[in-house]
Chain A
Amino acid sequence: MSDMTAASRDAAASGEAAAASLSAPELADLLRRSARGDEAAFAALYDATSRRLFGLVLRVVRDHAMSEEVTQEVYLDVWRQSARFDASRGSALSWLMTIAHRTAVDRVRSSEASRRRDDAHAAASHDVDFDATAEAAQATLEAQRVRRALATLTDAQRSAVELAYLGGYTHTEVARLLDLPLGTAKTRIRDGLIRLRDTMGVPA
């Protein structure tokens, strides 16, 4: 890789900005080219999605080193599986994030130690975490749109969805964390997601 000159940094920065706005067909095309072994296309795919993907993995896993490991594992898997992406079943970004989320969640659950740590901290810290997220400069239009949509959920729905998706907890754990009767958390999660979907429309 070439040196990071000021020019290439600028290029990378603007590339990132542009990348964030790559359309679903463009991402799907990069995946298709990756399936044929096109490493440049895969690099472009990485640039377009790594902020999203790494950020989510880090949010679920918490540990920075482990998040890097998981992210690398996910991209390797995306590369291997790229031919199995089927655009008729969902967007490329959704496909990527599905692999990323499941890998991150499985990693967290495979480690009893981190599970215990999270159990101990989550109830106390998840509100704080979310506030911190809210305070961060989330200037992107999509972030604003998501935040507005989240605001339409009931508190119970929002907490359940956030703990499950961003916290990586099972619905049983979510029920315990929110003092809900066992079995009701999955209903809250589904109701919350349906409301989000209806507010935002299905993402392209």
Chain B
Amino acid sequence: MSPDLHHLSGAYAVDALDVGERALFEQHLAGCADCRAEVAELSATAHSLSALTEEDPPPALRAAVLSGISQVRPLPPLAGDDTRMPPSGMDAASRHPGSEPTAGAAPEKEGEGPGATVIPFRRRASTWFAAAAAAAVITVGGLAWSPWSDPADTSPVAGVVAAEDAVRVSRTQGPLTADLAYSRELGQAAISVAGLPPAPEGKDYQLWYVGTDETARPAGLLTAGNDGRGELLLEGDANAAAAVGMTLEPAGGSRQPTTEPIVVLSLT
């Protein structure tokens, strides 16, 4: 229980930590009941300030929201106890890479008719992009630490990382860190993950290229080693994509995503 971390509670409650600090503090929160209680109080206190900024939304927004939700199925409750404290934010689902996607695949069992196994992608695009928006873009120069296994090797993955126009995007969610490198010149992207639990029996992690037209194209299967690390050169043309996402799919992969994305990285 580090006192330094404890002092981040206020900044965390108002979302004033940067991406790395936020991830660090959330790890701390999982094991610190004092901080969880303090964050809950300070967060509720901070939200009182929104009484000062009330504003009528445009009437059309109400109709848009209500027609939007009528086409989306609420997620089932989490099965186990959730030790993460904060009132789960937008990416709460993605914070449980091991269990959540399985829960998201539940419609299969509920006989909602043909196509029920595929959550309509159009409806989920905002989720993809909302998740991607939170990813931090790291420019290539001056990176002291490399998530990539061996920057000196000559694999296709290393080729993308080393490309002159390579851009890296990084995202941390709980224990999972995903780093993406892509090169417009090569039209390729490679992903490196750490902290990825082994896929459950009969499941595989699948990568997707997500287009600006909201379509998802399969981009290969990623296998993490026992150390939770894995790398993959994505299949297909990176230049046609606006984002890269990863879902948990039945072994061998799917033609369309059937579960909620675990992580999404935006190709800006």
- Chain B residues positioned under 8 Å from A105 (CB to CB): 15
Binds A, one of B85-93, B178-186, B222-230: B85-93
In the bound complex, residues from chain B placing their C-beta under 8 Å from that of A82 are 74
Partner of B53, one of A161, A166, A170: A166
CA distance A166 to B62 in the complex (A): 24
Does B1 interact with chain A (Cβ within 8 Å)? Answer: no
Q: Is the CB of B43 within 8 A of A98?
A: yes
The 8 Å CB contact of A55, one of B48, B53, B93, is B53
With the chains together, A108 CA to B261 CA distance in Å?
22
The count of residues in chain B whose C-beta lies closer than 8 Å to any C-beta of chain A is 66
Report how far A202 CA is from B37 CA in the complex, Å.
Answer: 11
A149: which B residues are within 8 A, CB to CB?
48
- Nearest A residue to B70 by beta-carbon distance? A39
User: For residue A35, which residue of chain B has the nearest CB?
Assistant: B74
In this complex, the member of A39, A143, A187, A189 whose beta carbon has the largest number of chain B beta carbons within 10 angstroms is: A189
CB distance from A171 to the nearest CB of B (A): 4
Q: How far is the CA of A194 from the CA of B57 in the complex (A)?
A: 31
**Contact A161 B46, CB 8 Å, known A110-B134, A186-B11:** yes
Instruction: List B contacts of A172 (CB < 8 A).
Output: 18
Chain A residue nearest to B42 (CB atoms) is: A193
Q: Are B17 and A56 in contact (CB under 8 A)?
A: no
Q: Which of B17, B58, B133 contacts A107 (CB 8 A)?
A: B133
**CB < 8 Å: which of B51, B63, B127 contacts A1?**
B63
Whether, in the assembled complex, B210 has its beta carbon less than 8 Å from a beta carbon of chain A, the answer is no
Q: A51-B57, A68-B58, A110-B134 are in contact. Are A189 and B10 (CB under 8 A)?
A: yes
Is B142 in the interface zone, CB < 8 Å from A?
no
Name the CB-closest residue of A to B93: A81
Report A129 CB to chain B, min CB distance, Å. Answer: 10
Of B40, B46, B62, B82, the residue contacting A84 (CB under 8 A) is: B82
Known: A83-B77, A161-B49, A203-B48. A51 touches B56 (CB 8 A): yes
**Is A71's beta carbon under 8 Å from chain B?**
yes
Query: A76, A110, A138, A170: which contacts B68 (Cβ < 8 A)?
Result: A76
Please report which residues of chain A, range 166-204, place their CB below 8 angstroms from some CB of chain B when the two chains form the complex: 166, 168-172, 174, 185-187, 189-194, 196-197, 200, 202-203
- B123 → A minimal CB distance (Å): 9
Which of B52, B86, B133, B137: most chain A CB closer than 10 A? B52
- Name the residue on A nearest B260 (C-beta): A80
B154 at the interface (CB under 8 A from A): no
A146 on interface, CB distance cutoff 8 Å: yes
How far, in Å, is B82 (CB) from chain A's closest CB? 7
Tell me the smallest distance from the CB of B43 to a CB of chain A, in Å. Answer: 6
A112: shortest Cβ distance to chain B, in Å?
8
In the bound complex, CA of A103 to CA of B90 (Å): 7
Residue A116, interface by CB 8 Å? no
* Given A54-B56, A95-B87, A133-B52, A190:B10 Cβ within 8 A: yes
Asked if A94 is an interface residue, CB under 8 A from chain B, the answer is yes
B6-25 vs A, Cβ < 8 Å mask (1 yes, 0 no): 01111101111110000000
**With known contacts A110-B135, A174-B16, A189-B11, A196–B48 Cβ distance under 8 A:** yes
Whether B61 sits at the interface, judged by CB under 8 Å, is yes
Q: Which of B52, B55, B57, B89 contacts A146 (CB 8 A)?
A: B52
Contacts from B to A (Cβ < 8 Å): 7-11, 13-18, 40-59, 61-66, 68-70, 72-78, 82, 85-90, 92-93, 126-127, 130, 132-137, 266
Residues of A within 8 A of B (CB): 1, 4, 34-37, 39, 42-43, 46-47, 50-56, 58-59, 68, 71-77, 79-86, 89-91, 93-95, 97-99, 101-103, 105-107, 109-110, 112, 133, 138, 140, 142-143, 145-147, 149-150, 161-162, 164-166, 168-172, 174, 185-187, 189-194, 196-197, 200, 202-203
The 3 closest A-B pairs by CB, nearest first: A190-B10, A55-B55, A54-B57
Pick 26 A–B contacts, CB within 8 A, sort by A. A68-B61, A71-B61, A73-B90, A73-B126, A75-B69, A80-B127, A81-B92, A97-B47, A99-B89, A101-B15, A102-B89, A103-B130, A142-B48, A143-B52, A146-B52, A149-B48, A161-B49, A162-B49, A164-B11, A169-B16, A171-B16, A185-B11, A186-B11, A197-B45, A203-B44, A203-B47
